[in-house]
Structure 1
Amino acid sequence: MKTFMEPLSKEEEEYYLKRFKDGDKKAKEVLIERNLRLVAHVVKKYVSTDMDRGLEDMISVGTIGLIKAITSFNMEKGKLSTYAAKCIDNELLMMLRYDKKKSKEVSLYEPIGTDHEGNEISLFDIIESDEKSIESQCELQEDLIRLSDVINKELTPREYEIIKMRYGLMGEEEVTQREVARIMGISRSYVSRIEKRALEKLKKAIE
């Protein structure tokens, strides 16, 4: 496992948290970098030889939990490390539940909202091109297999996280791009670009 920077002292942590709350983006970067050792510590609990996910992938997922913790932490309620550990743990557990899900096709067809006419739509409906028609059940199954493979293996942790939140997958509540941006501590336009890129990957999987 790579070497991470030493954690911040209590005084340093309070200083950078206050700077971050005042809008200092550099302070947020410091808080992330100096808490990566905590991410690695939590990840150790889940590392085993029979896991499909690599260590670096798990560190990336855990870091998403850390970013959420830093963004939403209330300085008046306990220590950041305690709160962040729970957020990191939760993010990793959600990832593991997703990896262990046997029937990936179900999640692709699970209703995630309605169109302008009030009809239920799924992630597959969004990804599928209007011009593309499925001629047979066999072709449909092939498309689903390719699409599931992309979701599991080719989307980056950040792309997967954004798609999951935007379309309410894996039990997540469907949220707007603005809300995703707030949770992840990035701009709404950046969320939009990542979402578009992820959906393009999924489209290519069924072409």
Structure 2
Amino acid sequence: MTEDLMSDATAVSMAAPSSHQSVTTRDELVEQHLSLVRSVARRYRNRGCELEDIIQVGTIGLIKAIDRFNPDKGVPLAAFIIPYVTGEIRRYFRDYAWSMQVPRRLKELNASIAKAREEISCSDVGEATAQLIADRLNIGVAEVREGLAAANAYSTKSLEEVSGPTRRPLSETLGSADPALEMIDDVHALLTSIRKLSPFQRELLRLRFGGEMTQSQVAASLGLSQTRVSRILARTLAELRVYMSSDHRRWLPNGSGFSAGDEGGAPPSTPIR
């Protein structure tokens, strides 16, 4: 790339008189070397920025080079301009062309990785793997991967951009959060807690909530009074809350959740018919 730029610089120098021989004004020098700026700018097109914007940035570098040029040092003006124009364009891409702001360190790392990848691709080494890039830059593989990941922030897509075979905006193809996902942990905890209940308690819950039966219908099905069904159900639900709590403390000292004298002395853990 540098050799190509030098060829362009030589062509420009041959096409116009030397600045310190016949061109005497700053405006004339700028106008004379704009073609060189365009030549450099074309090498940075297709990177997410308009070519005209890149040319304007490169022109700033051209003006800086002309202001600092000293013909007494024997360096051709065109060759002196190239580093200024290239540097100005690179700084623009580094500082302003990114869609999302990332640390400057990552921007510079990404540029170094891109250069190393190009050098490896032009050699006979083979594919530019993360390990090869790390060896060339004398950094760790993890740092290379960090720089590659940062490249995703360089350009973004609009949610209204139409793409794909359906030609639909990207916003219409994105999924949304399922409210039911928030219940997964609760459902899992509930199922685990239900397994700790006695068969009678599980049957009571099945009839009341699974079968959507009233307490009177549950009482008739189990051969119990509605009052007792209501009391056992309340205590069963209280026991479930304890199982699902963060500390999992026992509801009663005997660990069953029911007192031995509940309603006639028969614990509900024993099926009652």
**Same-fold status (TM-score > 0.5):** no
TM-score, length-scaled by structure 2: 0.30
Larger % of helix: which?
1
TM-score, length-scaled by structure 1: 0.39
Q: Which has the higher contact order (CA 8 A, sep 6+)?
A: 1
